[in-house]
């Protein structure tokens, strides 16, 4: 389904990342891939993964830097002369802003979380859109149920994810004229590096398994398969959507 499709991935942290599961699934469907990393530590994790599937590019990018973002898209243009899919799996909040009360979030922490976790989607979409102009494309980001309902301990990240979901809708509206689709997957709890920073994650994980209609937690592959659907021609009529992949947990009231 992705034969000759060019996929640029932001946000792989290690082999347990949802973004990596998505990348592997698209690679198996014939995609050409490029990855970014932020800093030396992440490069040491990302580069071997990228090389293991024969990625075309591995580029440095701090999403708070316009110059680095511009450099990534210049590199993509030079290598591929276009882009079909952008995967945005970038999010960050300071440990102190996740551990305490939301009302005590610092101004600096709030703005930094919003910049990295929400505005980065807007900025990356701005860079990707000109490269998708020929035949359209697909942009996919990752959200969580804490964007719509309170998940104790998710704090400022929940607010950032709410902004991210609103951004999906506005971007879908504006970029639709270029046949660029913008969607998000709201994944249930998965054991990742990011999840380890959420206070009470083990309790959340147990609650989903007990209460979700499917009586289980989701897997990385569950999310990856949904991403393949949304970003392939099979999802050609879908844009502006937040697709829940959470074993049905979000429909349960009690």
Give Cβ neighbours of residue 199 (< 8 Å, ≥ 6 apart). 98, 99, 152, 153
3-state secondary structure of 86: strand
Q: Is 244 considered catalytic here?
A: no
Describe the strand order of the beta sheet including 85-88 as a list of residue ranges.
Answer: 57-60, 32-37, 6-10, 85-88, 137-143, 180-187, 242-245
* Residue 248: Cβ-neighbour burial (10 angstroms; 0-12, 13-18, 19+): middle
Whole-angstrom distance, CA of residue 177 vs CA of residue 45: 38
Query: What residue ranges in the chain does DSSP mark as E strands?
Result: 6-10, 32-37, 57-60, 85-88, 137-143, 180-187, 242-245
Catalytic residue among 154, 170, 173, 244, which? 154
Q: Is 154 considered catalytic here?
A: yes
Please identify which residue in the block is written with the tokens 């909040």.
93
User: For residue 186, which phi and psi values (nearest 5 degrees)?
Assistant: -95, 100
Whole-angstrom distance, CA of residue 87 vs CA of residue 59: 14
Active site residues: 144, 154
């Amino acid at each position: 389904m992705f034969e000759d499709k060019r996929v640029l991935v932001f946000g792989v942290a290690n082999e347990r990342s949802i973004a990596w599961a998505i990348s592997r699934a698209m690679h198996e469907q014939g995609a050409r891939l490029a990855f970014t990393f932020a800093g030396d530590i992440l490069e040491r994790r990302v580069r071997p993964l990228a090389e293991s599937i024969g990625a075309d590019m591995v580029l440095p990018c701090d999403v708070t830097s316009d110059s680095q973002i511009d450099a990534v898209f210049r590199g993509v243009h030079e290598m591929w002369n276009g882009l079909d899919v952008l995967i945005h799996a970038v999010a960050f909040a300071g440990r102190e802003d996740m551990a305490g009360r939301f009302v005590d979030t610092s101004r600096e922490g709030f703005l930094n979380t919003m910049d990295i976790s929400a505005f980065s989607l807007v900025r990356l979409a701005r860079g990707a859109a000109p490269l998708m102009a020929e035949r359209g494309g697909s942009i996919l980001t990752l959200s969580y149920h804490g964007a719509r309902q309170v998940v104790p301990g998710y704090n400022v990240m929940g607010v950032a994810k709410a902004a991210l979901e609103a951004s999906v809708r506005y971007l879908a509206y504006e970029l639709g004229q270029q046949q660029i689709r913008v969607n998000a997957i709201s994944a249930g709890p998965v054991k990742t590096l990011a999840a380890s920073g959420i206070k009470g994650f083990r309790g959340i994980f147990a609650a989903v398994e007990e209460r979700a209609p499917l009586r289980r937690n989701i897997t990385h592959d569950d999310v990856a398969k949904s991403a393949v659907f949304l970003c392939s021609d099979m999802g050609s009529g879908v844009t502006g959507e937040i697709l829940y992949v959470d074993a049905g947990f979000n429909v349960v009231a009690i």
